[in-house]
């Protein structure tokens, strides 16, 4: 398992904005999960109108081969296959009446669908 932190230097696997971290940590705590060990799993799966889609879920701990990014008090787990698609991406959270939720800004995506949930590389 590789671990990167905001102060670790070098290229970050995934960047987490403070807004995304605050929201995810709040949700983790609401599920009574230990934020020192548990985290948000960010992954890529087949599906969506553009071919690939993002997925997120809470996990109690990372897998042995995960990259673990720790920023703003949030741990993010990314498996090696997903890292090939989302390395260099930024995870953000936007509030508001329309489009509220987590969003992935992925520089590797050649195109994405209108909803922003799926992409093609």
Structural domains of the chain ordered from first start = 14-105 (2.60.300.12)
Distance (Å, whole) CA 7 – CA 72: 11
pLDDT, residue 12, reads: 59
Q: What is the pLDDT of residue 23?
A: 96
Q: Rounded distance, CA 100 to CA 18, Å?
A: 15
Average pLDDT over residues 96-111: 80
40-61 pLDDT tens trace: 999 998 876 657 888 999 999 9
């Amino acid at each position: 398992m590789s671990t990167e932190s905001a102060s670790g230097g070098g290229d970050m696997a995934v960047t987490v904005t403070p807004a995304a971290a605050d929201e995810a940590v709040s949700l983790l705590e609401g599920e009574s999960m230990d934020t020192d060990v548990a985290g948000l799993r960010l992954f890529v799966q087949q599906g969506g109108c553009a071919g690939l889609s993002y997925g997120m879920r809470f996990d109690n701990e990372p897998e042995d081969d995960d990259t673990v990014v720790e920023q703003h008090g949030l741990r993010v787990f990314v498996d090696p296959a997903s890292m090939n698609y989302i390395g260099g991406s930024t995870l953000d959270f936007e509030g508001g009446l329309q489009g509220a939720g987590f969003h992935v800004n992925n520089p590797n995506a050649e195109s994405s669908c209108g909803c922003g949930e799926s992409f093609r590389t």
